[in-house]
């Protein structure tokens, strides 16, 4: 009945079954193709797709050859983008077109995106004209916009309909309704959404109740050109399960549902966290070469900024030659500033993506960063001065460390919030390049303040 | 009709209306209390709560005094945890108990969690006995478990019921049903869930169809003691909209819905991203003091590890005294290693939280990190050697930088994946402490390798 417990044991990892056997691999050992099919059909589609993702290309080819009926539209929709690309290459166009007929239009579009141009043409050619037109309309929208992601199947009704009318209509329409849906959208004569009735309200009411009397009017609609991240924000903020998508005239042209939004949210979160670390992309099936490609560019930029910091040190080489303790202590100042800057930066980037950090709260946040950076700076300046004195028995060196630490902390805190705010205002993604700027500031300022004061006071 | 466009303009921030007026503040300028109410009732509850969050305590008190009917259960459920705590302190127990009656049990529990013990007792005393018993049962579960978070209202039916029986039952039950729901759960005579029927399927079928013939059997159930993060993973993986919660006997005791899961996912993502930066918590209403408290502990640990790195440098002070170029170049090696380690670490932590990095894929990931670190190490070792030569015209110094760079990159890559895997295996949260360990490794190794080779070869 439920495959939950098993799943969690297996996935939570690092237990006894460290190299658990993939059930597809063991099924392919069976001699009869029918047995293979029966065995694998028992899996939940989401589990089946996970196991397909773990197979080699040769194993996938064997699976397709021995049990082609298992390659359903649902499976293709479940697979990771990288994997679906590989699997599609193993399939005939008519087989793909067939598999896609069972899906809602949003899933079809998502799969078509992963095809190469020639294959996409072949599959479009093998589709029903109406389905084909829908897919082509979706693909005409920009990547990551709602027009591309929405499904074109939805249920709408005029406000004068009764509950009875609506239920009868849905029974008659049957297969042409969306696979699953949660709301009936009430539209005006020009097909503009004006309210909605959750199914769970509709079925509680008598057949004679009108939709007009039932519908909720505080409706959040989504423009078909809206970016997916903005749409995800609306779903979160208004706790939406589904929302009508409208065109420039306000006419309802599609529907977004929360399951697709969940994926978008995870993708956007992943993008943010990876961008902060300077990684452009990461997937389960990455090769070492892809890993290098996604990380080397930021390391190259970091090399540049590290050299900048080194130039600062080189500028004060005469001071280090005379007082080697400076070389010993200087990385502490830079490292503390770098970490404090990263803390402020991460909080700011997260606040921007959650939209807690807005025009209304920006000044308060900047003030808070400034004040807390000063407090933290003083705390650790005292600690640092103590360490410098205990270690090198020199009050003046301790004083230099004290002053450099405060300055670097305050600048780190301010850079940590002002840089992402500035990037956002300039229309750039604050997660992508903030780290470079912030750590450059803290390294350069850290070394310059510490060595500069030292040169002034100690020499 | 729709408040979307307005909202996005206002929130996307940093446009002309930089200090946009809070509509609650302007409404409170009106002389008539009735006008205040009418003006503010027009706002979507989610917007209204955002504006309440921006008010000062005094403004909130005025709002409650002038328009107490606006403080609904829905508003309390929408407010940020920090803010709801403050607002509750301004309200009488019977007013709170009243406001809570309109909510499903999960929302009630969430609000009760934010009360101080004395107030919670008072509010429980003012509640209906049945409601009170439900809340107490939920509060008896551990924090962050499903038993605490689920709602106790759900719709279940035996498999021999027809569509007609089910619809009639729901019409009769009316108000006692959950506020909104998406599935009817089919249960066996011992009330264990054995399948489900989405409402959108139910209403398409004739009244005589039995649930047994309609229900989907691949059902994912959630144990009441499951951690919220594991439950969120199941929702994502299986694209669930709602799921039945069962007790140790497998009996259905509640239901989780995707809107609550969305919040959990955002919380967990926020926790991960902040933990990687060494911040224990961050909220929109944090004071400077709370900010210091959430960041200082990790900075203290970082001070310790920075000193460790300094001790390594101090060990080689005689080398730096003779060749000051070492002090100039050594931060580059450490910084490159630190960044490469953070990249590997972030990808691993994200992979663990998305459960892409499991027992089945760990070895492949470790191998990939090792190989890509070696490639990246070689690329940047060549660059570094070139820079060292151009700058200081010393082939042996360039050779030392070359060797130190490769070693630090390979160790950074391996530490970046092995440390979070090890922490996970030891039962710790891999996001929380990994950064400290990884940057300690890269700093210590970076300085030790570079200065050690230099002492061996150059002196």
For A3-46, the pLDDT digits (tens) are 444 444 433 333 333 446 788 888 888 888 888 888 888 888 88
- Residue A418 phi/psi, 5° resolution? -70, -35
pLDDT for B11: 39
A51-55, A273-277, B17-21: which is most confident:
A273-277
Cβ-nearest to A296 among B54, B193, B379: B379
Rounded CA separation A170/B203 (Å)? 7
> Cβ distance A147 to A141 under 8 Å?
yes
CA distance B232 to chain A (A): 10
> Cβ distance B168 to B184 under 8 Å?
no
CA distance A16 to chain B (A): 10
Whether the CA torsion A48, A51, A57, A63 is positive or negative: it is: negative
Cβ-nearest to A269 among B269, B282, B367: B269
Residue A361 pLDDT > 90: no
Q: For the CA atoms of chain A, what is the radius of gyration?
A: 30
Listed residue (A419, A418, A344) closest to A377, CA to CA: A344
Rounded CA separation A223/A244 (Å)? 9
A295, B328: Cβ pair inside 8 Å?
Answer: no
> Does residue B282 belong to the interface with chain A, where contact is any CB pair within 8 Å?
yes
pLDDT for B298: 93
The Cβ of residue B35 has, within 10 Å, a number of other Cβ atoms equal to 12
CA distance A217 to chain B (A): 7
pLDDT for A280: 86
Rounded CA separation B204/B224 (Å)? 32
Whether the CA torsion A76, A82, A87, A89 is positive or negative: it is: positive
Residue A88 pLDDT > 70: yes
Residue scoring higher pLDDT (A364 or A176): A364
> Cβ distance A223 to A229 under 8 Å?
no
Domains in chain B, start-ordered, CATH in brackets? 4-144 (1.25.60.10), 156-276 (3.10.580.10), 288-458 (1.10.357.20)
Q: For the CA atoms of chain B, what is the radius of gyration?
A: 30
For B403-459, the pLDDT digits (tens) are 999 999 999 999 999 999 999 999 888 988 888 889 999 999 999 999 999 999 998
B239, A217: Cβ pair inside 8 Å?
Answer: no
Question: Hey, what are B103's tokens?
Answer: 């909510």
> Cβ distance B245 to B224 under 8 Å?
yes
Question: Hey, what are B41's tokens?
Answer: 């009732």
- DSSP-assigned letter for residue B141: S
The residue of B154, B284, B397 whose CB has the most chain A CBs within 10 angstroms, and thus the best one to mutate to test that interface, is: B284
Instruction: Quote the mean pLDDT of chain A.
Output: 89
- A residues 193-212 near B, CB within 8 Å? 193-194, 198-206
pLDDT for A20: 61
Rounded CA separation A386/A399 (Å)? 9
> Does residue B368 belong to the interface with chain A, where contact is any CB pair within 8 Å?
yes
A282, B351: Cβ pair inside 8 Å?
Answer: yes
- A residues 220-279 near B, CB within 8 Å? 220-223, 230, 233-239, 241, 258-259, 261-263, 265-266, 269-270, 272-274, 276-279
pLDDT for B20: 60
> Cβ distance B210 to B160 under 8 Å?
yes
> What's the residue count for chain B?
459
Helix (H) or strand (E) holding B185, with range, is strand B183-187
Question: Hey, what are B349's tokens?
Answer: 């932590």
Q: Tell me the DSSP string of B42-62.
A: TS-HHHHHHHHHHS-HHHHHH
> What distance, in Å, lies between the first and last C-alpha atoms of chain B?
79
The residue of B11, B42, B200 whose CB has the most chain A CBs within 10 angstroms, and thus the best one to mutate to test that interface, is: B200
> Does residue B390 belong to the interface with chain A, where contact is any CB pair within 8 Å?
no
> Cβ distance B334 to A337 under 8 Å?
no
CA–CA–CA angle A69, A74, A79 (5° rounding) = 105
Residue scoring higher pLDDT (A9 or A454): A454
Mean pLDDT in residue range A238-248: 94
Whether ipTM > 0.90 holds is: no
What's the pLDDT band for A255 if we cut at 50, 70, 90?
Answer: very high
> Does residue B308 belong to the interface with chain A, where contact is any CB pair within 8 Å?
no
Interface A–B counts its CB contacts (< 8 A) at 393
Question: Hey, what are B32's tokens?
Answer: 């008539």
> Does residue B316 belong to the interface with chain A, where contact is any CB pair within 8 Å?
no
Q: Kindly list the residues from chain A whose CB atom is less than 8 angstroms away from the CB atom of residue B379.
A: 292, 296
> Cβ distance B73 to B96 under 8 Å?
no
B320, A320: Cβ pair inside 8 Å?
Answer: yes
Give residues with Cβ within 8 angstroms of A182, minimum separation 6: A198, A199, A241, A242, A257, B182, B199, B200, B241
Q: Within its chain, how far is the Cα of B154 from the centroid?
A: 26
Q: Which residues of chain B have pLDDT under 50?
A: 1-19
User: In chain A, what are the helix, strand and coil shares in percent, each to the nearest 5?
Assistant: 65, 5, 25
Residue A387 pLDDT > 90: yes
B284, A361: Cβ pair inside 8 Å?
Answer: yes
- DSSP-assigned letter for residue B12: T
> Cβ distance B380 to A298 under 8 Å?
no
B299, A222: Cβ pair inside 8 Å?
Answer: no
Closest-approach residue (CA) in chain B for A379: B296
The residue of A77, A179, A234, A269 whose CB has the most chain B CBs within 10 angstroms, and thus the best one to mutate to test that interface, is: A269
Closest-approach residue (CA) in chain B for A260: B239
Cβ-nearest to A8 among B230, B360, B387: B230
Closest-approach residue (CA) in chain B for A345: B277
Return the biggest CA–CA distance within chain A. Answer: 94
A321, B324: Cβ pair inside 8 Å?
Answer: yes
> Cβ distance A382 to A402 under 8 Å?
yes
pLDDT for A3: 40
Listed residue (B360, B347, B337) closest to B420, CA to CA: B347
Residue A136 pLDDT > 80: yes
Rounded CA separation B389/B396 (Å)? 9
Closest-approach residue (CA) in chain A for B436: A339
Q: How many CA atoms lie within 13 A of A72 on its CB side?
A: 14
Listed residue (B275, B335, B278, B280) closest to B301, CA to CA: B278
């Amino acid at each position: 009945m439920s495959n939950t417990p098993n799943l969690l044991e297996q996935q939570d990892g690092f237990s006894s079954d460290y190299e658990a056997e993939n059930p597809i691999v063991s099924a392919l050992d069976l001699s009869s193709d029918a047995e293979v099919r029966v065995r694998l059909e028992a899996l939940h589609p989401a589990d089946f797709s996970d196991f397909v993702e773990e197979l080699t290309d040769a194993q996938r080819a064997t699976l397709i050859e021995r049990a082609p009926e298992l390659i359903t539209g649902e499976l293709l929709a479940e697979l990771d983008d990288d994997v679906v690309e590989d699997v599609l290459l193993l399939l005939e166009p008519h087989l793909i077109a067939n598999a896609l007929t069972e899906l809602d239009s949003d899933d079809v579009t998502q799969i078509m995106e992963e095809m190469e141009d020639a294959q996409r043409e072949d599959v479009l050619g093998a589709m029903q004209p109406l389905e084909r037109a829908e897919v082509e309309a979706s693909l005409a929208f920009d990547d990551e916009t709602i027009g591309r992601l929405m499904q074109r199947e939805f249920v709408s009704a005029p406000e004068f309909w009764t509950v009875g009318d609506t239920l009868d209509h849905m029974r008659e329409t049957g297969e042409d309704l969306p696979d699953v849906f949660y709301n009936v959208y009430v539209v005006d004569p020009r097909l503009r959404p004006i309210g909605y009735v959750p199914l769970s309200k509709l079925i509680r009411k008598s057949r004679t109740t009108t939709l007009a009397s039932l519908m909720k009017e505080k409706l959040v609609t989504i423009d078909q050109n809206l970016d997916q991240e903005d749409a995800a924000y609306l779903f979160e903020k208004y706790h939406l399960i589904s929302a009508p998508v409208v065109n420039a005239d306000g006419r309802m042209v599609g529907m977004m549902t929360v399951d697709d939004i969940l994926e978008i949210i995870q993708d956007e979160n992943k993008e943010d966290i990876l961008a902060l670390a300077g990684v452009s992309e990461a997937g389960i099936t990455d090769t070492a070469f892809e890993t290098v490609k996604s990380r080397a560019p930021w390391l190259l930029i970091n090399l540049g900024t590290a050299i900048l910091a080194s130039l600062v040190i080189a500028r004060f080489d005469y001071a280090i030659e005379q007082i080697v303790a400076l070389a010993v202590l200087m990385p502490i100042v830079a490292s503390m500033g770098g970490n404090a800057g990263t803390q402020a930066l991460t909080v700011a980037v997260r606040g921007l993506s959650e939209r807690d950090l807005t025009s209304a709260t920006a000044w308060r946040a900047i003030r808070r960063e400034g004040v807390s950076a000063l407090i933290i700076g003083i705390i650790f300046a005292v600690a640092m001065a103590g360490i410098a004195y205990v270690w090198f028995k020199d009050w003046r060196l301790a004083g230099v460390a004290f002053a450099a630490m405060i300055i670097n902390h305050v600048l780190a805190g301010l850079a940590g919030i002002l840089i992402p705010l500035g990037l956002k205002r300039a229309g750039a993604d604050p997660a992508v390049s903030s780290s470079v700027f912030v750590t450059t500031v803290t390294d350069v300022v850290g070394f310059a303040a510490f060595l500069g004061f030292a040169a002034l006071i100690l020499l």
